[in-house]
Structures are given as C-alpha cells and as structure tokens.
C-alpha cells in the first residue's frame, strides 16, 4: 500500500468542498519592478517561483502580530489571487467588507490596496448577473487574478467582462474613453475599455467567469469560461471560442479559437501561459474538453494538441477537464488535470510535454506521465530540476523533471486549492483548513514550519519586494521578516 493510500483522509475518500530570455521581452513595456508579482504566476511562463533575493519570513503569528506588517479586510469569500505592482496590491473578492457603505448587497469586487501600508485605495464594483448561480454563483466575488502592466490593470469580472482599468482608479480623474462608470467617486475604479464576452461572443460561463490574463506584445489572452448550463447536460453556446486574443490598447478582438465546441465536460477555467518554445512564441492553455493546446501568439494558428486523459476514461468518474495553468520551461510544459472542487476527490494525471512537436502529440509529445496523483486545480512550481504540484486531496508531490519519478510526497491533511510558491529558499502552500506550510525545496522532504491564518486559504502566496502577501477567505495579510530590513518595501 502506498503512502498516499495509507492516509486516513485518502481511505475515507470524503468529497471536500529556467526562466528564458523571452521573459524580459514579454515583460517589457511595463513599469513593474523586478521584485513585483504583476500577474498570476509572476511571469508569463506561469512558473510559481520568485528569483528575488529579498528575505521572507519562515514563520509568523497572525494572533500576536509577529512578522505581520498589516492586515486588511476582504469580503467573506476570496478566491482571487493577489498581484503586486507599482506599490499596489490588487485582489478579487466579494462585497462583504463594505469599503463603501453605500454599496450594499452581493457584488463582484476588485480592490486596490497600498502595498506598504494596507490602506484601501479604490475598488471596482460589478453587479451580479441576473441569471444567478448558473453563470454567477452567489458570493463568489471576483475569481480572476489581474495582470498589471504600466498604468493599466486587466482582469475578468464576475460578469464575464474583460476590463482595462487605470491603476490609480478615479482618484486622478476619469481618463476615458469610457466615462459612464456607474460609480464615480475617487475611490472607485476607472474603466479604460470593456470587452463583454457574454455579449460579444455569446459566452455562457458555468457558475463563474474565471480567467487570469497574460500578455504578449499588444495582445491579451484569456479563456472565455464558456461551459454547460445548470442541467449539466446542455452546452448553450458551443460556437463560442475557448480562447481569445484582445488588443490591450483598444480592447478589440484580434483572434479566437474553438476546438472544444460540444465537447465541454463542465466548464473552462484554466489560464493561458506564454513563452518561446522551439523558436515560436506560443500561447498554451488547458481547455474544457481535457486537452491542452498550443497556439502561435500573434495569429492564433493551432500548433499542437494533447489529451490529458487516458482513452478509456469516462466523465465524470475518471475523465477530467483542465483547470490548472501550464508551467513552461524551455521546450517543455508541465500540467495536471482535475475537476471543479464541488466534484470532490478522484484520479488525476500530471504530464511533462514536448511542445516543439506538431499536430496530435498525445503520444509523441509525452515525455512522462505521473498518475499517482489525485485531481488537481493547482499550478506547479519548478526549481532546480524539481517540479512541485499539489492535488486537491492535499498531497504535495515533488517530482524529478527528467524522469517524472516522485522524490517525496507531503500530506497537508486538508484540501488544497492553492498553488505552491517558491521564494527565498522556501516553498509556501496554503490549504482549506487555513494552514500554510513552509517547506525547504529540495530532493528530501523538510518542513520548516506551519501556521494557521484563521480562515481557509484558497489562493496562493505572493512574494513581492521583501513582503509575502497571503489572502485568506476574508483577510489579506502582508508578512515580513521583521528582523531584516526590507529595502523598497518600507
């Protein structure tokens, strides 16, 4: 019997709710400093690793305040991952924090805080869709992780809108061209342009829109969250594209692709990654039929496709869609499949894929396949030849990237929605019980510490400028090693 099978929680089976040179080019044009974390994954290749040498805390205490710089209130449910750029933290949540007492009721909220002090700066408020839970689940807030470039922040609202906002909100005036924002106080968001995927593309998000934008040149890439209706037996909009490219200056649609069509298994919530692979800048994304596909970034030409499920798998028992984000290193990518957390635990698959090949590369592009893993919605971290990925059942797997062989498996004893983040020689991972474990990355398992945040941690830790930002279900913590002076963060 394997170690995973010996875990009491596994036996019970209880359902529980190489950087490459291209990175400098991809990030060019933004004002974010080298130690910022301006997007999901930090960089377009989506590897959850910071190369900053800034000191970060190995332990803290949220009750006593040890190593806690500041705490800010969030809504009652927070699934969006924070990003940090230009001295601001942006995070998606719901309206239960009531930063504007005149705005009441359930809303989708993107909040901007001062990164140094935690001061509330402004918020972008989005009304809930009248269609209700089928498209916009109550109190889920904003699940998108924003992208910050220069003076613009891009994200997807709970209404399926891709928005470009001024990073300063309306505090510096209404810049336009959009000037008809419903809320126009200095602490409200300033919309530059809006692309409504439900209106423009006919997208039908299943339960929630969730796309974390990534950019290359003047293009933004997002999934459309198109999915099934509430019966789980019908796809209202099979012709809606799975992935689109939008001009980040004008908000105009540039290209779209739809290889999924009627084959959506449930919904589509994966984010795309961008990197130069085999001499071609590719946009790579997991899609709602369980396949991963690579596209030419500039044109949307489909280069290759890879099925992450065995041919004899059957939805929903053994066949999965892809919610994880691909991690790209050189000519390889690493990605796992899984299902909506509401579906509970089940068998999963993790692959290393050669993305230089073309066509159906399910067999020819498979470098290795690791099937001793449960369903995963997390994105991995790759450092020093080791790939770290948790599954939803709470097991963090450390694998040799050349062979796919497991080096060790750590059991968190709780469901994991978050992704591991490596910074300052430490790996941080939060879980649904509210615990954050800190491990030493390496070929042997070494736990440094474990702290409880007081509430579930569904998002991932964010290291930026010597501060570690962690969003729990209802609070945002800024953590620092208070025995070390953190330049640029004070």
Look at residue 484 in the predicted model and tell me its pLDDT: 72
**Cα(428)–Cα(470) distance, integer angstroms:** 10
Quick one: which H or E segment has residue 396? Answer: strand 395-400
**Cα(324)–Cα(196) distance, integer angstroms:** 24
The mean pLDDT value for 117-121 works out to 98
DSSP 144: P
Confidence (pTM)? 0.92
Residue 429 Cα distances to 79, 126, 271, 288, 394, angstroms? 15, 30, 20, 26, 10
- 229-252 tens-digit pLDDT: 999 999 999 999 999 999 999 999
Of 27-41, 260-274, 445-459, the range with the lowest mean pLDDT is 27-41
Burial zone of 289 (CB within 10 Å; 0-12 exposed, 13-18 middle, 19+ buried)? buried
With contact defined as beta carbons under 8 Å apart, do 10 and 16 qualify? no
The CATH fold assigned to 3-479 is Methylamine Dehydrogenase; Chain H (2.130.10)
Q: Which of 7-11, 30-34, 280-284 has the highest mean pLDDT?
A: 280-284
153 φ, ψ (degrees, to nearest 5): -125, 130
Q: Is residue 16 scored above 90 in pLDDT? A: no
% pLDDT > 70, the chain:
92
Q: Is residue 485 scored above 80 in pLDDT? A: no
Please count the other Cβ atoms lying within 10 Å of the Cβ belonging to residue 261: 16
Task: Kindly list the domain boundaries of the chain, sorted by start residue.
Answer: 3-479
**Cα(226)–Cα(235) distance, integer angstroms:** 9
**142-148-154 Cα angle (round to 5):** 45
Residue 406 in 3-state DSSP? strand
**Cα(428)–Cα(390) distance, integer angstroms:** 11
Residue 181 Cα distances to 177, 185, 193, 470, 480, angstroms? 11, 10, 11, 30, 37
Look at residue 323 in the predicted model and tell me its pLDDT: 97
Mean pLDDT of the chain: 92
């Amino acid at each position: 019997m394997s170690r995973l099978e010996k875990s009491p929680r596994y036996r019970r089976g209880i359902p529980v709710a190489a950087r490459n040179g291209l990175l400098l080019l991809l990030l060019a044009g933004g004002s974010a400093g080298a130690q910022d974390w301006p997007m999901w994954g930090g960089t377009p290749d989506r590897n959850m690793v910071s190369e900053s040498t800034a000191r970060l805390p190995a332990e803290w205490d949220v009750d006593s305040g040890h190593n806690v710089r500041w705490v800010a209130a969030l809504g009652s449910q927070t699934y969006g991952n924070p990003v940090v750029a230009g001295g601001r933290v942006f995070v998606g949540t719901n309206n239960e924090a009531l930063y504007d007492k005149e705005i009441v009721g359930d809303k989708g909220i993107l909040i901007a805080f001062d990164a140094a002090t935690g001061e509330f700066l402004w918020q972008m408020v989005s009304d809930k869709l009248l269609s209700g839970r089928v498209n916009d689940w109550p109190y889920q807030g904003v699940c998108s992780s924003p992208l910050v470039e220069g003076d613009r922040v891009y994200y997807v609202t709970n209404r399926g809108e891709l928005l470009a906002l001024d990073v300063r909100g309306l505090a510096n005036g209404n810049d336009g061209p959009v000037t008809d924002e419903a809320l126009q106080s200095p602490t409200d968001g300033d919309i530059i342009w809006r692309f409504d995927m439900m209106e423009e593309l006919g997208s039908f998000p299943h339960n929630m829109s969730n796309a974390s934008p990534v950019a290359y040149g003047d293009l933004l890439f997002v999934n459309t969250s198109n999915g099934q209706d509430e019966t789980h037996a019908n796809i209202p909009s099979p012709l809606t594209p799975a992935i689109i490219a939008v001009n980040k200056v004008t908000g105009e649609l540039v290209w779209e692709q739809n290889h999924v069509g009627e084959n959506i298994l449930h919904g589509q919530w994966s984010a795309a990654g961008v990197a130069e692979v085999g001499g071609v800048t590719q946009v790579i994304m997991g899609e709602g039929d369980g396949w991963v596909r690579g596209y030419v970034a500039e044109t949307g030409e489909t280069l290759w496709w890879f099925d992450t499920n065995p041919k004899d798998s059957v939805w929903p028992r053994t066949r999965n869609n892809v919610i994880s984000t691909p991690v790209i290193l050189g000519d390889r990518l690493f990605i796992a499949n899984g299902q909506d957390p509401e579906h509970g635990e089940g068998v999963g698959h993790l692959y290393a894929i050669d993305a230089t090949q073309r066509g159906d590369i399910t067999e020819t592009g498979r470098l290795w396949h690791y099937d001793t893993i449960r369903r995963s919605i997390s994105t991995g971290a790759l450092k020093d030849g080791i790939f770290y990925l948790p599954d939803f059942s709470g097991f963090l797997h450390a694998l040799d990237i050349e062979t796919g062989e497991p080096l060790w498996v750590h059991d968190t004893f709780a469901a994991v929605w978050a992704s591991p983040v490596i910074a300052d020689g430490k790996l941080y991972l939060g879980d649904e019980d509210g615990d954050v474990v800190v491990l030493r990355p390496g070929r042997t398992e070494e736990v440094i510490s474990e702290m409880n945040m007081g509430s579930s941690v569904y998002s991932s830790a964010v290291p930026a400028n010597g501060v570690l930002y962690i969003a729990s279900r209802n609070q945002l913590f800024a953590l620092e090693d208070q025995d070390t002076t953190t330049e640029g963060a004070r």
